[in-house]
Amino acid sequence: MFFAKYLFHHTLILLGLSILDTCRSFPFCDTFDLPIDIYVENSFHSDIIENEFIITFNHLYKPSTRFNFIKASFDQAGINDNNWSIIQRINEANKYPSDFDVIHLENLSIPLELFVKSVRNHRKIKNITPQRQIVRTLKFVNISESKHDDEQFSQSSFDDINYSDTRRRLLRAIPRQITNVLEADKLWNLGITGTGVKVAVFDTGLSINHKHFKKIKERTNWTNEKTLDDVLGHGTFVAGVIASNRECLGFAPDAELHIFRVFTNKQVSYTSWFLDAFNYAIMKKINILNLSIGGPDFMDTPFVDKVWELTANNVIMVSAIGNDGPLYGTLNNPADQMDVIGVGGIDFDDQIARFSSRGMTTWELPQGYGRVKPDIVTYGAYVRGSNINGGCRVLSGTSVASPVVAGAITLVMSGVLHMGDLINPASMKQALIHSAHRLPNAPIFEQGAGKLDLVRAYHILRSYKPQASLYPNYIDFTECTYMWPYCSQPLYHGSVPIIVNVTILNGMGVTGFINKRPQWHPYSGFNGHYLDVAISYSDILWPWSGWIALHLSVSSLASDWEGIVRGHLSLTVESSSEDEGNTNSTLISELILPIKAKIIPTPPRNKRILWDQFHNLRYPPGYFPRDDLRIKYDPLDWNADHIHTNFREMYQHLRSNGYYLEVLGQPYSCFDAKQYGALLIVDPEEEFFPEEIEKLRKDYFEYGLSLIIFADWYNVDVMQKVKFFDENTRQWWLPVTGGANIPALNDLLVHWNVTLGEQVFEGNFKLGSHEMYYASGTSIIDYPKENFIVLHRDLNNQGWEILNENNKEKKKKSEKATILGMHRDLSNRKTGRFSIYGDSNCLDQAHQQKDCFWMLDALLQFVTTGQVPTFIETEKQSDTVMQSHIENFIVHHFELDRIQLNKPKRLIENQLYKYSKVIDQSSKFVPILECIKIVYEKQMMLNITSEEELPESPKLLLSAHIDENVNDDDKIAESSFGKKFFSEDDRLDNRMNHDQSLLNNWPDSKMAEIFNGNSGKQQKHESSNDVNYRFYFVMILSIFVFIIIFKKLILRRRFPSFIHLRHFR
């Protein structure tokens, strides 16, 4: 036995030396000298096309039928036949029925809202939405040529909003063969090379004559250009990462490539192009679809609905999460959808790439909380892929990481095709999540489940049993940094409930449901009864997924208690399935979500700050413009303005200083002012209910609630100037409001006699010892003379500069602006204190030049204690005029030449009502929203009193109890935390190919270490010496035969077809 092992191991060494010796003579072993200072970044925006609408139907219909439905609905709405037409779409999808049409509409005789409502009333019509143009700019940037924002502003026209930022920096890394890094060769050696899998690449096309590709099954063009080829190179690179078979290898060289050219040479596309192409992909029964682009518009309804339809038809969609990092709240659609595999990027040092977008999702705001995304991360920095004219190039971006995952799952899927419909969008995502390696020091909203592990994912899928799972599969408020921001602030009694949004992945079927209400089980020995849990969840899990939201609060019994609480949530997911005999069966998964949290005594009032989320609006759906008017390459305010997205650094700063922040997603009528030291209102775009204004007055003057407001610019003429311009359609999109809704803020401030102006100011200045930058802010133009402290600075009139930018003789116009105001009534200690600053950009991480967190600290100290900020004292000491009271000093020092300025008025024909929760179409207030009443679940106590009794749980996914009612033989025993998530196939699957069977019984091989040691699961092995002797003898003989064949074929400069590594000319 020992001799057999000895001979076997040395034979392997000889085989390796033989191959290495052969490599020296052939070019496939060469490395490439590639540039490492180039990366690709996707800049994306979508514009509404005037007079064009997409009408979607409930089912697929022929053109004549769709025409009749449209005509009937338009006749009902009173639209003349001469005023509309159907835009003809010439592409491959014309051969098939469709579920939508694009119409051109002119001279609409009735209000648009009434027309849309009338059309939607037709029972065959699902929806009518604007046609959108999608513009993506691929930027191949030399890092050494980066420019700063101030250079961009001074060197380009203000109307040139399509300018692209070039200042992102990437960590350098040596280019490496991505397939080697992810060990794709270990599956290639099993004969798994992508055969039988249909992969769709939605991009810029591909040349049919490119020498890197073996199986270009089909190329289709969905644009208005008459070419199928790629002139930009992005589509070629993406396809190469997935399926190149030479030089820079792809993962699945034998996969069938279906190339969908959906972007023009100018990188323009339309929603309707995607809808047609998606329909065609469904008809072609595509298995995997890579979409390396994305954008912030998760409310492009036809697009989002069609993605759901794609995945419901068993198409596994992989999409780039976005290149807008390191800012949080920058996820792109469709990667942010539950049914899509959203991919982030890392570098070859296993660090989150700076460019990779971060979570959370923002669909759920303001009343909810975002879901975890990305799902997974992989290498996206300095990856080698196919060049447009042959050879290889190196690119970076999540548009690179996305095809890495798409190629990997194509390879994995080709090894488990015999499992049929068990491999679906949910089961594939479950395998990726469960097999991923968690990265240290990266929060869940940056890395998702962790780094892709191709080999482990394959090992999981080949023994997969249908089940549901949760993502994340546990909640631990004590685990930092992975569970940031949940771990960043402990729970306490009286706070706004903490919301945790968990995704349900349903691998049992495209449709499922939670068949009975989830239950909360606190652990008696771990003080679980101190935690109150309210639950809401999706009624239907479709497609392949759903959600469950937890509202966590602390019982009044623990108002003065500190410690750790534990418990778990239990729920049952049910789904119907159809077996091979077309018999319906019911599958059931019983899931458990462990919860662990730290509770502290309720903090003092002066340490509790309430963040106003309710009055923050953003894109989508409306055009809410940027807060800093210099940033022309990013015209939209789309990062949600949340303390865990673009105000994340401010939040961390305040937490480090001992403050506790809570998020208010409801009107002001829904919080108890006596619990908070200050209300923080930053960059509000929404109107204020009259009831809110009155309540805030009462809270301030009677209950001592203090206010801190950070505003932004508002000027109707500037808003007209920064219309969203599309050079291709020559259409304009007017902003809904300014950087902030200053007219609404003036209504709120009426009880303090404070008014903000319409001038827009910008410039650098010094405040105390701090350098400051005022980025497109407003000014205070009226304020009370008593008990009010103001601060002036000389700044540039940026609004005037923008409106006169075409004047060649223009010069910067400097004016004195009142930028800061503070109010305190020394005669009445019961009242709160008030502070307002005219610019929020110094708190906003999105395009921050210089932060003003230090000033926020000073203002918080002022409003909670009454102590005047130190920088005001510094101003006083540096001046020769000394007064006994600082208020009088500030007034006398800064109120010289006070000018009465205009109060801003609301934009005529304001479209804010379309997105507002406060006003209607006539700008009248709607009834104030009712406060959400949270009903907590009944506590189902479990008698668990020690660590030893705590059920164990894997960190990435929970175990599940599977109940297949039709086939009792396949039932899995009732699960607990300690059960494995995926069942080991102790009953040997006869369909498993011979190589895989040998692998499972190969105790001393490196491959066994991969599949058994790395995954932490040891397979069963045969113990018979006779069997082992026969095994080694057969393997040694096979290896020698292989060497002989290999040598002969190398002399012919070919590889045997079952290796599929490369082909040579």
- Same domain? For 906 and 952 the reply is no
- Same domain? For 702 and 799 the reply is yes
pLDDT at 358 over 60: yes
Number of domains in the chain: 3
Residue 570: inside a domain? yes
Instruction: Please name every residue paired with 201 in a beta bridge, in sequence order, or none if there are none.
Output: 259, 290
- Same domain? For 458 and 528 the reply is no
Cβ pair 663, 496 in contact under 8 A: yes
Percent of residues, the chain, with pLDDT higher than 90: 60
Residue 528: inside a domain? yes
Q: How many CB atoms lie within 10 A of CB 631?
A: 20
**Helix (H) or strand (E) segment spanning residue 261:** strand 256-261
Distance between CA atoms of residues 20 and 519, nearest Å: 60
What confidence tier does 449 reach under pLDDT thresholds 50, 70, 90?
very high
Residue type, 384: R
pLDDT at 237 over 90: yes
Catalytic residues: 203, 234, 399
Measured N-to-C along each axis, helices 870-877 and 853-865 cross at an angle, to the nearest 10 degrees, of: 100
- Same domain? For 246 and 317 the reply is yes
Residue 381, burial from CB neighbour count under 10 angstroms (0-12, 13-18, 19+): buried
More confident residue, 928 or 104: 928
Q: Give the residue among 47, 648, 553, 4 at the shortest CA–CA distance from 300.
A: 47
Q: What average pLDDT score do residues 446-465 get?
A: 97
218-222, 461-465, 618-622, 779-783: least confident range: 618-622
- Same domain? For 531 and 418 the reply is no
Cβ pair 261, 202 in contact under 8 A: no
Query: What CATH number does residue 647 fall under?
Result: 3.40.50
Domain residue limits at 798? 606-881+902-919
Q: What average pLDDT score do residues 361-366 get?
A: 90
What confidence tier does 90 reach under pLDDT thresholds 50, 70, 90?
confident
pLDDT at 145 over 70: no
Using alpha carbons only, give the angle 106, 111, 114 rounded to the nearest 5 degrees. 110
More confident residue, 155 or 567: 567
Q: What is the pLDDT of residues 569-618, one digit of tens each?
A: 999 999 987 665 566 789 999 999 999 999 999 999 999 999 999 999 98
What confidence tier does 76 reach under pLDDT thresholds 50, 70, 90?
confident
pLDDT at 833 over 80: yes
Q: How many CB atoms lie within 10 A of CB 998?
A: 16
Distance between CA atoms of residues 643 and 654, nearest Å: 11
Residue type, 97: P
Using alpha carbons only, give the angle 341, 346, 351 rounded to the nearest 5 degrees. 135
Distance between CA atoms of residues 935 and 533, nearest Å: 9
Strand 584-599 versus strand 475-476 pairing type: parallel
Q: Report the pLDDT value the prediction gives residue 6, as an integer from 0 to 100.
A: 46
What confidence tier does 75 reach under pLDDT thresholds 50, 70, 90?
confident
- Same domain? For 297 and 397 the reply is yes
- Same domain? For 272 and 254 the reply is yes
Residues 6+ apart with CB under 8 A from 759: 715, 778, 779, 797, 799, 800, 815, 817, 901
Q: How many CB atoms lie within 10 A of CB 706?
A: 28
Q: Report the pLDDT value the prediction gives residue 1042, as an integer from 0 to 100.
A: 59
Residues 6+ apart with CB under 8 A from 196: 256, 414, 417
- Same domain? For 569 and 635 the reply is no
Q: What average pLDDT score do residues 714-738 get?
A: 73
- Same domain? For 741 and 796 the reply is yes
In 935-1016, where does DSSP find H-type helix? 994-1000, 1006-1008
Cβ pair 744, 687 in contact under 8 A: yes
Instruction: Please name every residue paired with 419 in a beta bridge, in sequence order, or none if there are none.
Output: none
pLDDT at 982 over 80: no
Residues 6+ apart with CB under 8 A from 750: 693
Q: Report the pLDDT value the prediction gives residue 503, as an integer from 0 to 100.
A: 98
Cβ pair 1050, 22 in contact under 8 A: yes
Q: What average pLDDT score do residues 145-173 get?
A: 30
- Same domain? For 439 and 574 the reply is no
Q: Report the pLDDT value the prediction gives residue 403, as an integer from 0 to 100.
A: 98
For the chain, the average pLDDT equals 81
DSSP-based three-state secondary structure for 920: coil
pLDDT at 33 over 60: no
Strand 814-823 versus strand 38-61 pairing type: unpaired
Instruction: Please name every residue paired with 219 in a beta bridge, in sequence order, or none if there are none.
Output: 259
- Same domain? For 950 and 826 the reply is no
Distance between CA atoms of residues 316 and 289, nearest Å: 6
- Same domain? For 723 and 597 the reply is no
Q: What is the pLDDT of residues 1013-1036, one digit of tens each?
A: 333 333 333 334 444 445 555 566
Distance between CA atoms of residues 461 and 431, nearest Å: 6
Strand 724-726 versus strand 256-261 pairing type: unpaired
Q: What is the pLDDT of residues 788-803, one digit of tens each?
A: 999 999 999 999 988 8
What confidence tier does 875 reach under pLDDT thresholds 50, 70, 90?
low
Residue 1026: inside a domain? no
Phi, psi of 302 (to 5 degrees): -60, -40
Residue 867: inside a domain? yes
Residues 6+ apart with CB under 8 A from 69: 57, 61, 122, 124, 125
Residue 1: inside a domain? no
DSSP-based three-state secondary structure for 852: coil
Q: What average pLDDT score do residues 218-237 get?
A: 95
Cβ pair 327, 638 in contact under 8 A: no
Residue 1061: inside a domain? no
Residue 191: inside a domain? yes
User: Long-range contacts for 1045-1054 (Cβ within 8 Å, ≥24 apart)?
Assistant: 1046/18, 1046/19, 1046/22, 1047/18, 1047/22, 1050/22, 1050/26, 1053/26
Cβ pair 695, 742 in contact under 8 A: no
Q: Report the pLDDT value the prediction gives residue 135, as an integer from 0 to 100.
A: 60
pLDDT at 886 over 70: no
More confident residue, 598 or 71: 598
Query: What CATH number does residue 224 fall under?
Result: 3.40.50.200
Q: What average pLDDT score do residues 853-865 get?
A: 96
Measured N-to-C along each axis, helices 301-312 and 271-283 cross at an angle, to the nearest 10 degrees, of: 10
Distance between CA atoms of residues 196 and 847, nearest Å: 47
Distance between CA atoms of residues 709 and 711, nearest Å: 6
Residue 1048: inside a domain? no
Q: What is the pLDDT of residues 390-436, one digit of tens each?
A: 999 999 999 999 999 999 999 999 999 999 999 999 999 999 999 99
Using the 8-state DSSP alphabet, how is residue 1011 labeled?
Answer: I
Cβ pair 392, 241 in contact under 8 A: no
pLDDT at 40 over 50: no
Question: What does 758-774 look like in DSSP terms, one character per residue?
Answer: S--EEEEEEETTEEEEE
Q: What is the pLDDT of residues 813-830, one digit of tens each?
A: 889 999 999 999 888 888
Sign of CA dihedral 423, 429, 434, 438: positive
Q: What is the pLDDT of residues 471-527, one digit of tens each?
A: 999 999 999 999 999 999 999 999 999 999 999 999 999 999 999 999 999 999 999
